[in-house]
Amino acid sequence: MNSFPVPPIVVTVSWKFPLSVVYFPQLFGVPSFITQQTINRKITSKVTELLQSFAKLGYLHWGKTSVNGCFEIKNLQRNVLSLTLGSEAKMPGMAHPASAFSSLSFDLQTGEEYELKDLFIPGSPYTERLSLLVNEQIEELQIPVFETPVTVSENQDFYIADKSLVIFFQRYSISPGYAGYPMFPIPIYKLDDIINEEGPLARMRG
pLDDT in tens, 158-193: 999 989 999 999 999 999 988 999 999 999 999 999
Encode pLDDT of 36-72 as tens digits. 999 999 999 999 999 999 888 888 787 788 999 999 9
Q: Tell me: the pLDDT tens digits for 192-203? A: 999 999 999 999
For the chain, the average pLDDT equals 94
Tell me the CA distances in angstroms from 108 to 5, 20, 161, one per residue in order: 13, 31, 15
Supply the pLDDT for residue 2: 65
- pTM for the whole thing? 0.94
d(CA 23, CA 119): 28
